[in-house]
Structure 1
Amino acid sequence: PPRALKMVHHVSRFWGTRGYFNEGRQWLAAALVRTGEPSLARANVLRVAGSFAAQQGDYTAAMAFTAQSLEILHQHGDTQARQAALDAYGWLTYDRYQPVASIKAFSECIDLLRQAGATVELALVLAARVHARCLDEVDEVASRRDLVDALRIATAAPDPYAVAMVQVAWGKLELRTGHASAAVAQFEAAVFALHALQEQRDLAFAMLHLAEALFAAARIEAASSRVEQARHLFQTLDVKQGMALCLWLAGEMGLRQGRIDDALHEFQACLTLCMDIADRATAARTLIGLADLALQLGHTADAAKLFRAAERQLETLPAFRPAAEVARAVAIARRVQASPAAVTAESLSLITARVEPWLL
């Protein structure tokens, strides 16, 4: 019954806020099995179940739970709960590199928030939509318009956390459009604010993004320091996706600095973790890094095999096309063509056609 579901909802949140996601999921699973009747209480339980599943890296279950929650909420017309579910679904599809679904969810959420006259929540979701746009062919004009609007709202509130989140999104846009120094400035401001606010999870991701921007700006030592700080935070918080990204970036920095053994160790650890959490995008990036490493060691046939493995991952993620990685992928493919084990001309032209817009 609804009252029992509400109680389970609150008990599971009690466990979740303390980091005991297994216990929270057990309570939720038991409740969901016992009641199949669509209701607002069930929709809220499904949304929390999705959140817990995502925290543990089970994105398939997380998306299924959240989609069910949205379906119920659409029928019952609870605007506030639907806003929360759309925001959650936008981030879940973002984490799975599905920009169309992510942008759609955030846009629907923004419409509801504008109708409700929301302020800070609106600023946060406007910033979230910029993150989603950065996964695909980014509309820079629309994204900057969203950021200006979000920053105005967050500053007027005033809400330091919302301002920091807008700065993170602004940094992502600057990095995505090739302005590494501008990205560094935005991420540094966000890191400073989030550290003061003690928002550990958001701080870890902001620090990781700062490390990426510093790496893009060729400030390798500063990037190494920041990625280690981010890795420590992710390990403390048990955020596996963040840990995988740190391992990949550390491998890239090792490769750039000629520390081949260190790079190999980081890449191998990253692939192991990616398999555990089914993170195909980071796995593809890592395989491209390993292919580059193999080429540097003169192992052309191995590089070709690694590149083909990366390509298989990318085929499942048609929207995942980060400029730096795909440029390297095309370069690697061209360099291994002379090898008997090289990729085929058809394979090369397929990936080149997919990524060519990012190389202009």
Structure 2
Amino acid sequence: MKLLTKGARDLPERQRTLRATMEWSHDLLEEGEKVLFARISVFVGGRTIEAIEAVCDAEGDLPMEALDGVESLVDKSLLRVEGIGGEPRFVMLETVNEYARVKLEESGEAEALRRLHAQYFFSLAEGESGTFKGGGRAEWFQLLEDEQDNFRAALSWSLESDEVEFGLRLAAALQPFWTRRGHYGEGRRWLEDVLEKQGPASAVARAEAQNAIGWLAQWQGDIERASNAAEEGLLLCKRAGIEASVTNHLRILVGFTAEMLAHDYKRANDLFEESLELSRKAGDKWTTAASLLHLGDVEDEQGNHAQAVELYEEAIALCRKSGYTVLLADILVNLGYTRLLQGDYERTTALCEEAIALYREQGYRYARIEFPVDNLGWAAWLRGDEEKAEVLYQESLMLCRELGNKLVAAESLQGLACVAGKRGEIERSARLFGAADSLFRARNISHLPAERALREPYLKAALAPSNRAAWGAGSTLTFEEAVEYALSGNQSSLPALPRLEQPSTRE
């Protein structure tokens, strides 16, 4: 851009010609077009006509109709149209966009436009985030996918401008999108950044952000980080006297992590019961169903499978009646695992296949699907279908690698260890068990007796003194190395998974 703006006389002719061409094109614009041309550069990657009107003419001071100006800039090749067939998006070549940004800076409107841009995208995220509980609108999530660069720009602006409250609220509002699309890592990084930023912010905004990062960490299997976030968020709510939906969500997350990390079933049960009582009083059916789900988990982990099924079934009925599609799928997965422990492998398969169909229907490409796929692997294994189990475990691992979910990956590694053990590949089995054990230990997670029983007698063989070296070698593998080793077996029948997302400049 320096070549376009500084005009050094010793520049090569080609570069001076490019700058002159840009200036010539700009000089030919009418005054209203010049204003729009500069303002439109505040967007990153692309923009819709609705966004252009909302941001570039927020004060009604654009000297021309925004749509007329956009059409004129397209006619003059300063904008191009993409997305014909859906909602059109207007894109500038990066060289043109940078020149327009220079004009925006020269106009003195740059900071005001960046604020308007950030506020518009905040309203887009916050205005529809409530649809997540009811399943959400697939088109909304696709719109957010298309606008990722603009959301990143808005979050960057909040950090650079010390708009801490705004950054916390925007990042929290984006959590349902990051969850659904499997952008756990990016979401957590933004949330960590805004939470670390010093500045004035309300307790509820900080609690919402802690809740958001806690659930993202939980879905990645990072239970300790989820626990820290949940405890801090709930403490904020108590100190500030906040009793809102976020408080109940934090209660549930604290209870979940207490159950997972310490097997503190009493504390978990008390928190879930409190959440259930308060949500019923408030008429919050989604949190009521979520509380029932987690109460079922507590019963299940203590071996009270019949009681767990009753609680799951009550939650399922509420979700079906209220249209909570995603939560319904989550409960079906957990019920499927309970049925697995009860020996009803066919029912496990049916429940987990229904859950996958619901996730797919709601636009989930990867996220959450690793859970039912791993369950399906164990159902196939326990039915005696070794080959199908192997394929499912490997599919689960591929999903976990994309999502960074080390906890479910450890479960699938143990499944493949059982397959190897049955085939007489004892050293490979011990390596895989060792790799899985290392991941569990890193997450401070231990197996319940019922879960451990599923892995016998192959776990016992892998623990034999003669296999200590192989176990130890497996335990030193990194997550990526462990997955690569596990997938080095037969992959001929595995479907190829595309990469989850292209890394952003930030990543």
Overall identity of the aligned pairs, in %? 18
| Residue 307 of structure 2 is aligned to residue 185 of structure 1 | no
Flag the 1:220–1:178 CA change in 2: closer, same or farther, 3 A.
Answer: same
State the partner residue of 2:430.
304
Query: How far did residue 312 of structure 1 move?
Result: 4.4
How far apart, in 2, do the equivalents of 1:346 and 1:56 lie?
Answer: 35
State the partner residue of 1:110.
234
Query: How far did residue 192 of structure 1 move?
Result: 1.0
Flag the 1:38–1:215 CA change in 2: closer, same or farther, 3 A.
Answer: same
Contact preservation (8 Å) 1:83, 1:113: yes
Matched AA of 1:263: A
More helix by share: 1
Moved more, 292-301 or 269-278: 292-301
Query: How far did residue 309 of structure 1 move?
Result: 3.4
State the partner residue of 1:149.
274
| Residue 24 of structure 2 is aligned to residue 24 of structure 1 | no
Query: How far did residue 345 of structure 1 move?
Result: 9.1
| Residue 406 of structure 2 is aligned to residue 280 of structure 1 | yes
Flag the 1:338–1:122 CA change in 2: closer, same or farther, 3 A.
Answer: closer
State the partner residue of 1:8.
121
**1:267-306 deviation digits (Å, cap 9, x = unpaired):** 1211222222222211111110111122223332332232
| Residue 246 of structure 2 is aligned to residue 132 of structure 1 | no
Aligned residues: 347
Flag the 1:56–1:160 CA change in 2: closer, same or farther, 3 A.
Answer: closer
Moved more, 160-169 or 29-38: 29-38
Matched AA of 1:85: A
How far apart, in 1, do the equivalents of 2:389 and 2:308 lie?
Answer: 25
Contact preservation (8 Å) 2:273, 2:295: no
TM-score by length of 2: 0.62
Root mean square deviation, CA, Å: 2.9
**1:58-104 deviation digits (Å, cap 9, x = unpaired):** 322211111222234x6313122222112112212222334343233
Moved more, 208-217 or 86-95: 86-95
Contact preservation (8 Å) 1:130, 1:143: yes
State the partner residue of 1:87.
211
State the partner residue of 2:360.
235
Matched AA of 1:178: G
Matched AA of 2:189: A
Q: How does 1:1-360 map to 2 (within 5 A)?
A: 1=111, 2-12=115-125, 18-20=140-142, 21-33=144-156, 36-39=160-163, 40-49=165-174, 51-72=176-197, 75-114=199-238, 115-118=240-243, 120-237=245-362, 238=364, 240-315=366-441, 317-323=442-448, 324-325=450-451, 332-336=458-462, 342-344=467-469, 347=472
Moved more, 104-113 or 128-137: 104-113
Query: How far did residue 239 of structure 1 move?
Result: 5.2
Give ranges in structure 2 of 5+ residues lacking alignment.
Answer: 1-110, 130-136, 477-507
Query: How far did residue 229 of structure 1 move?
Result: 0.6
How far apart, in 2, do the equivalents of 1:221 and 1:288 lie?
Answer: 21
Contact preservation (8 Å) 1:127, 1:150: yes
Give ranges in structure 1 of 5+ residues lacking alignment.
Answer: 352-360
Matched AA of 1:213: T
